[in-house]
Chains A and B, each alone.
Chain A
Amino acid sequence: MLGMITGQLRRQAVRTLTLLLGVLVATAGFTLLTGSVETSRLEVKASADANFRAAYDILVRPTGARSGREASTGQVRPNFLSGQFGGITSAQWRQIAGIRGVEIAAPVAMLGYVQARTYARVDVTGQLDPTADRQLLRLRSTWRTDRGLSEARDPGATYVYVTSNPVVLPDAGSTRDAPDWSRVYTYRGRPLSDIGLALSRGKTVCDLGEMPPLEVLPGGKFEPLCAIRKVAGLDGEAATDQLDPAQRSRLVVMQRHPDGTFTSGTDVHNRTSGRHAVADVSWPMTLLLAAVDPAQEARLVGVDRAVVAGRYLRDGEKPVVKEEAGSRFADIPLVSTTRPYLDEQLTTTVSRATGPLPKLSGRGADDLRRLLAALPVGAGATTRADADAVFRRSVADGTMKVNPFVVLQAGSPRYPADGSVLRPPPVAQDTSELWLQETIGGDPPAWFVQDTAFRPVTRLPGTEPGAQHFPDFKVVGTYDLDRLTSFSKLSEVPLETYRPPAARAADDASRAALGDRALAPNSNPGGYLATPPQLLTTLESVEAVTGPDSPHAEDPISAVRVRVAGVSGMDAASRERIRKVAETITNRTGLEVDITAGSSPAPQRVELARGTFGRPALALTENWTAKGTAVALVEAADRKSVLLFGLVLGVCAMFLGNAVAASVRTRQRELAVLACTGWTGARLAGLVLGEVALVGAVAGAAGAGLSFPLGWVFGLEVSAGRALLAVPLVVATALLAGAAPAIRAGRPYPARALRGAVAGPRRARRAGRGRTLLGLAVTGVLRTPARSALGALALAVGVAAVSLLTAIMWTFHGTVQGTLLGDAVSLEVRGVDVAAAVLTAALGLFALADVLYLDGCERDGEFAMLRACGWADTEVMRLVVVQGTVIGASGALLGAGTGLALTVAFTGSLPAGLPGAGALVAAAGALAAVASSAVAAGLAVRRSPAGPLAEDG
């Protein structure tokens, strides 16, 4: 028997070698593929591991904090915590901190937006007339934001009055603890008691309570230079709308000394002198204030180590509170970022008043404002400044002041559910009401607070006008965001609390509008982009900021960020530790708990409506965050492995099945002879199976051996165990594939086989079908439907492999749709996937070519007859190619359809665009089938037609 098997294989040496080659390629491919699948899985796991951990593992938020969109998509918007105010009590936080396994529990209480006053310093020396004793400069401000797309000319102006007359500045500090108006002004050592007392009684042209500078006129007369904006009275007068254009102008008084130096200021304790005339242009900025636990925050992100000036907050540090005359004064400690991360610029135009300058002193606010506004001015010079630089300098020189009287809270944008593109609608807001203020020294807010709002803004009741609550902020230190503990960009989560947001253009128009830069936040608290907190205070200071009547007085904490002890990656133990802690927090507190480990940024398209100050509508891409990305990646990779194993085995079985079936068909006569000589059916089947098993074993062993050098070449790890396992697996596959043909070989009809008749069609086909090349080809396909189906199936498996892998990659990508971690990992495994798909498809094409070749062999006589009748070789080849194309196109369509169907079965959805990709794969498969058929066609006419036609010598 063995002799017959080897003899048969030797006799058909070329055929045997072809089979060996096919199985060898399949085995080596199988071994390498399974190895590469493992490698890709390991790569996925390594990438996921490396990017698994963000700043914290668990995010605890108040009940109901999840938006509908977050609940449905698992994605959250950047800096979403900036719109989350209160909801967790200190007791709950301590409860969380006390849970076993919690390493860090860092609370954060978003308090709201406050207004910081900074000054842009404008050197106006060059605009002054050195010969004039008195002169006036007008400084007009133009604000820009949104990368220059929004522009607003401030209705107010800064007037700089430069006089050679002596100017007496007040000593405002003398009134805070013990008001003594008789000593507010001192000139050459002599208190100007009458003037001070007159001002305190409202017996001058200036507002009650105002302490204006006094100009000493020739002749020794002292006259006040009143403020040109209304100063709210101390006795509960109507509150001031800080956005009233009339309130936005101010007068800077500057004395020029005989030696050419200048002095200016608002107070004897707050004056500057120098050789340059420098005017301070007020630049209000809106900043987000949050309260943290200094120790926990330091452990979480290292804020203490990021302090670059001053000091960090002390653990448990409270405001210094003083109660005076029924009012509470509280000095609240703050640390500030070095930069505000606001996209704002200021252009100042400095013009000098022309013509004789009227007397300015001794005029009331309204009179003086009107006078100044009406003065003609000459051509101006412009200077420019940027918010970052101005803020840095103001923080560094201590001139940055935070207004404690207006604290605004902005909620989250609303996203109507209308597909994948987010279009947050603008929200109405009454800015005049929001910014109303009734205190001395209140500063007008940024002009852009009136820009289009996308987040609803409310005002904290604790700072409503009339409340007898006087917080004051003291910046004790500054920290640099860039020095905070950094985490992988692939896994950052929204409360990398301190990451400035940036929305990049999503289309060409927006890109052109933004000048290829990202849209960044500005001072509008209701603006779409929310800043991270730029100011931090302690949890112990919350009440001082929000007042005792805040709606979240009892539960001020917005979120608690938890790091779990003993987490080393995304191994099962670490994931279980995190899960257990999360579960415990949920059970004990009832708060909303999310596992953020394994999250990854997910770009999301947002379309913003046009702004109020000229910004056009923009299409933007924001980095949202998809939760649980890393886990989904590894699970997707595992699913892919299973599918690849199945596909490779499927192709192996198909190829072998075809080869064995063809072998049995071509040896019908030989098998019949053996049957006539007494061979039983089982013995005949055994002969066939023995041949295929031997081929499988030899080729399997060679393929497994070959996989080692190939693995080395392609950089894939091939384990000896897997290579050895491939041999019995391929033999088993070969036996399985050969089973059906072997059974057929075991029950031959000797007489029929010996007659050599090729079975014809069982019924008449449509007449005339064979009168065209296509018709003749279709007839050839249908004549041996099983063989044609085998060819089509072989290609179908290949095409299905390609389309399925395309779909898997698509879905694999889609599982973590558009997340940065997903993108990175997809890139890593794509090469392996493509190699796998190409090999599978190549095997399918090889099998199809084999089917056509064997078909050609069996139809040798027919082709020889046609050639003898005058068909040119090219005409016969065309017939074979058309036949192969018919089979190939059927297989390609079937394969693409199967691939799509399997995708739906495995993923439960058909990603948009995939049918188109499937059609492309099918077209490519059909084209490859044509090429494959051409090879078979070439072989079909290689031999002389005389051989098959010769029946006798």
Chain B
Amino acid sequence: MGDGASVRVEDVRKSFGTGDGLIAAVDGISLDVPAGRSVALVGASGSGKSTLLHLIGAIERPDAGRVVVDGQDVTGLGRRAAAHYRRTVGFVFQRFHLLPGLSALDNVLAPVLPRKAGFDRDTRARELLAAVGLAGRETALPSQLSGGQQQRVAVARALIGRPRLLLADEPTGSLDSATGEQLMDLVSALAAEHGCTLMVATHDMGVAERCADVVRLRDGKLTGTAIRGRGWAGPARGGLTGPA
């Protein structure tokens, strides 16, 4: 297992245009996440959690500032380099985004489908499905799985490429509380097991509590950070340097 990726966010800003003008989704956020740490981004709807995750995952490019992952500035990457970088990142989405025509196993394999991998893809996919508790459901279609099961498939899919950074955007948002908690336990455990740095965007404090650190956002700004057992720090810079 690796040690996970370190993430450094430096004064990142991102705005989106609407009919009423520009809205700052992320407004000058700076954040340091040590390698292997699990971090929850919490805040109300529209606080900028998902946008921040997208910026870290190089799905979006910031208007200003930069994101450095393991020493690599990922903000200026071209489309091909960005795609290459994203292969080192695992994504879990609220709505799962499974391919409805593919079996659970094939969905797990989807990220590595276009290219060769340095491992036995099929075996790893089966292991991951087993790890998320879906052994024996490899051939099931998404429509034949419950919401919680579909999100487990999504988690397995996120881990297929051996990522060093796992980004989860409201992973329990479409699940009931109990299922959500189970899933979050699973994600945390798997992230730890696979040596991933975990960043989870959520508005559910129950989910956030399963992470080592919590970063609070409001209106695109970082309003506070908390390291488990140390209480909230100031808003200026989210330095998460405590023990994982």
Chain A residues near B (Cβ < 8 Å): 758-761, 764-765, 767-773, 776, 779-780, 782-783, 861-862, 864-875, 878, 944-946, 949-953
- Inter-subunit contact A870/B102 (CB<8 Å): no
Having A869-B110, A871-B111, one finds 13 other A-B pairs with CB under 8 Å, namely: A764-B141, A780-B101, A861-B95, A866-B111, A870-B86, A870-B88, A870-B111, A872-B79, A949-B59, A949-B93, A950-B54, A951-B94, A953-B48
> Using Cβ atoms and an 8 Å threshold, which residues of chain B touch A864?
59, 97
- Contact string against A for B residues 86-110, beta-carbon threshold 8 Å, 1 for contact and 0 otherwise: 1111110111010111110111011
- Inter-subunit contact B143/A760 (CB<8 Å): yes
Q: How far is the CA of A878 from the CA of B138 in the complex (A)?
A: 26
> Using Cβ atoms and an 8 Å threshold, which residues of chain A touch B201?
952
B242 at the interface (CB under 8 A from A): no
- Inter-subunit contact A770/B103 (CB<8 Å): yes
> Using Cβ atoms and an 8 Å threshold, which residues of chain B touch A867?
59, 83, 86
> Using Cβ atoms and an 8 Å threshold, which residues of chain A touch B79?
872-873
Q: How far is the CA of A656 from the CA of B106 in the complex (A)?
A: 36
> Using Cβ atoms and an 8 Å threshold, which residues of chain A touch B182?
none
Q: How far is the CA of A875 from the CA of B144 in the complex (A)?
A: 28
Q: How far is the CA of A865 from the CA of B87 in the complex (A)?
A: 12
A952 and B110 contact, Cβ closer than 8 Å, known pairs A760-B141, A865-B93, A872-B79: no
- Inter-subunit contact B57/A767 (CB<8 Å): no
- Inter-subunit contact A868/B48 (CB<8 Å): no
> Using Cβ atoms and an 8 Å threshold, which residues of chain B touch A952?
45-46, 49-50, 94, 169-170, 173, 201, 203
Q: How far is the CA of A865 from the CA of B90 in the complex (A)?
A: 11
B130 at the interface (CB under 8 A from A): no
In the complex, which of the residues B47, B84, B158 contacts A953, with contact meaning CB atoms closer than 8 Å?
A: B47
- Inter-subunit contact A770/B93 (CB<8 Å): no
Can you identify 28 A-B contacts, CB atoms within 8 angstroms? A760-B142, A761-B141, A765-B103, A770-B99, A770-B102, A772-B113, A776-B110, A782-B101, A864-B97, A869-B91, A870-B86, A875-B115, A944-B60, A945-B59, A946-B59, A949-B91, A949-B93, A949-B97, A950-B51, A951-B94, A951-B173, A952-B50, A952-B169, A952-B203, A953-B25, A953-B45, A953-B48, A953-B50
In the complex, which of the residues A758, A772, A870, A875 contacts B100, with contact meaning CB atoms closer than 8 Å?
A: A758
> Using Cβ atoms and an 8 Å threshold, which residues of chain A touch B49?
952-953
Q: How far is the CA of A603 from the CA of B105 in the complex (A)?
A: 67
- Inter-subunit contact A865/B94 (CB<8 Å): no
Chain A, residue nearest B58 (CB): A868
- Inter-subunit contact A949/B54 (CB<8 Å): yes
Chain B residues near A (Cβ < 8 Å): 25, 45-51, 54, 57, 59-60, 79-80, 83-84, 86-91, 93-95, 97, 99-103, 105-107, 109-111, 113-115, 138-144, 157-158, 161, 169-170, 173, 201, 203
Q: How far is the CA of A68 from the CA of B120 in the complex (A)?
A: 77
In the complex, which of the residues B45, B97, B139, B144 contacts A865, with contact meaning CB atoms closer than 8 Å?
A: B97
CB distance from B183 to the nearest CB of A (A): 16
Q: How far is the CA of A770 from the CA of B93 in the complex (A)?
A: 21
Chain B, residue nearest A945 (CB): B59
> Using Cβ atoms and an 8 Å threshold, which residues of chain B touch A953?
25, 45-51
> Using Cβ atoms and an 8 Å threshold, which residues of chain A touch B89?
870
> Using Cβ atoms and an 8 Å threshold, which residues of chain A touch B83?
867, 870-873, 875
> Using Cβ atoms and an 8 Å threshold, which residues of chain B touch A780?
101
Q: How far is the CA of A259 from the CA of B83 in the complex (A)?
A: 116
In the A-B complex, the 9 residue pairs with the closest CB atoms: A760-B143, A870-B87, A869-B111, A953-B46, A770-B106, A865-B97, A779-B101, A770-B102, A760-B100
- Inter-subunit contact B57/A868 (CB<8 Å): yes
Q: How far is the CA of A760 from the CA of B98 in the complex (A)?
A: 11
> Using Cβ atoms and an 8 Å threshold, which residues of chain B touch A872?
79-80, 83-84, 114
Chain B, residue nearest A756 (CB): B95
A869 and B161 contact, Cβ closer than 8 Å, known pairs A761-B141, A761-B143, A875-B114: yes
- Inter-subunit contact A868/B59 (CB<8 Å): yes
CB distance from B17 to the nearest CB of A (A): 12
> Using Cβ atoms and an 8 Å threshold, which residues of chain B touch A865?
91, 93, 97
> Using Cβ atoms and an 8 Å threshold, which residues of chain A touch B59?
864, 867-868, 944-946, 949
Q: How far is the CA of A779 from the CA of B99 in the complex (A)?
A: 10
> Using Cβ atoms and an 8 Å threshold, which residues of chain A touch B105?
767
Q: How far is the CA of A946 from the CA of B58 in the complex (A)?
A: 9
In the complex, which of the residues A761, A779, A868, A878 contacts B86, with contact meaning CB atoms closer than 8 Å?
A: A868
Chain B, residue nearest A772 (CB): B113
Q: How far is the CA of A875 from the CA of B203 in the complex (A)?
A: 34
Chain A, residue nearest B96 (CB): A865
> Using Cβ atoms and an 8 Å threshold, which residues of chain A touch B101?
760-761, 765, 770, 779-780, 782-783
Q: How far is the CA of A170 from the CA of B84 in the complex (A)?
A: 119
> Using Cβ atoms and an 8 Å threshold, which residues of chain A touch B97?
861-862, 864-865, 949
Q: How far is the CA of A782 from the CA of B102 in the complex (A)?
A: 11
Q: How far is the CA of A350 from the CA of B84 in the complex (A)?
A: 98
- Inter-subunit contact B60/A946 (CB<8 Å): yes
In the complex, which of the residues B50, B111, B113, B158 contacts A771, with contact meaning CB atoms closer than 8 Å?
A: B113
CB distance from A367 to the nearest CB of B (A): 108
Which of A865, A869, A875, A945 has the largest count of B CB atoms less than 10 A from its CB? A869
CB distance from A102 to the nearest CB of B (A): 78
> Using Cβ atoms and an 8 Å threshold, which residues of chain A touch B138?
767
Q: How far is the CA of A950 from the CA of B97 in the complex (A)?
A: 11
> Using Cβ atoms and an 8 Å threshold, which residues of chain B touch A779?
99, 101-102
A761 and B100 contact, Cβ closer than 8 Å, known pairs A871-B114, A951-B173: yes
CB distance from A925 to the nearest CB of B (A): 26
> Using Cβ atoms and an 8 Å threshold, which residues of chain A touch B86?
867-870
> Using Cβ atoms and an 8 Å threshold, which residues of chain A touch B141?
760-761, 764-765
Q: How far is the CA of A871 from the CA of B80 in the complex (A)?
A: 9
> Using Cβ atoms and an 8 Å threshold, which residues of chain B touch A946?
51, 54, 59-60
Q: How far is the CA of A872 from the CA of B114 in the complex (A)?
A: 9
Q: How far is the CA of A780 from the CA of B110 in the complex (A)?
A: 13
A951 and B60 contact, Cβ closer than 8 Å, known pairs A760-B141, A871-B114: no
- Inter-subunit contact B140/A771 (CB<8 Å): no
Q: How far is the CA of A873 from the CA of B48 in the complex (A)?
A: 26
Q: How far is the CA of A878 from the CA of B101 in the complex (A)?
A: 18
> Using Cβ atoms and an 8 Å threshold, which residues of chain B touch A874?
80
Chain B, residue nearest A775 (CB): B106
Q: How far is the CA of A861 from the CA of B169 in the complex (A)?
A: 14
> Using Cβ atoms and an 8 Å threshold, which residues of chain A touch B115?
875
A767 and B139 contact, Cβ closer than 8 Å, known pairs A776-B102, A865-B93, A869-B110: yes
> Using Cβ atoms and an 8 Å threshold, which residues of chain B touch A866?
110-111
Q: How far is the CA of A875 from the CA of B80 in the complex (A)?
A: 10
Q: How far is the CA of A875 from the CA of B173 in the complex (A)?
A: 30
Q: How far is the CA of A780 from the CA of B173 in the complex (A)?
A: 27
CB distance from A10 to the nearest CB of B (A): 14
CB distance from A875 to the nearest CB of B (A): 4
Q: How far is the CA of A871 from the CA of B161 in the complex (A)?
A: 12
Q: How far is the CA of A900 from the CA of B103 in the complex (A)?
A: 40
> Using Cβ atoms and an 8 Å threshold, which residues of chain B touch A758?
100
Chain B, residue nearest A953 (CB): B46
Chain A, residue nearest B99 (CB): A862
In the complex, which of the residues B48, B95, B142 contacts A951, with contact meaning CB atoms closer than 8 Å?
A: B95
> Using Cβ atoms and an 8 Å threshold, which residues of chain B touch A770?
99, 101-103, 106-107, 109-110, 113
Chain A, residue nearest B202 (CB): A952
Chain A, residue nearest B23 (CB): A953
Which of B54, B100, B109, B110 has the largest count of A CB atoms less than 10 A from its CB? B100
> Using Cβ atoms and an 8 Å threshold, which residues of chain A touch B106?
767-771
> Using Cβ atoms and an 8 Å threshold, which residues of chain B touch A783?
100-101
A764 and B144 contact, Cβ closer than 8 Å, known pairs A770-B113, A870-B161, A950-B51: yes
> Using Cβ atoms and an 8 Å threshold, which residues of chain A touch B48?
953
- Inter-subunit contact B139/A764 (CB<8 Å): yes
Chain A, residue nearest B61 (CB): A944
Which of A760, A868, A873, A944 has the largest count of B CB atoms less than 10 A from its CB? A868
- Inter-subunit contact B109/A771 (CB<8 Å): yes
CB distance from A764 to the nearest CB of B (A): 6
Chain A, residue nearest B158 (CB): A869
Q: How far is the CA of A770 from the CA of B99 in the complex (A)?
A: 10
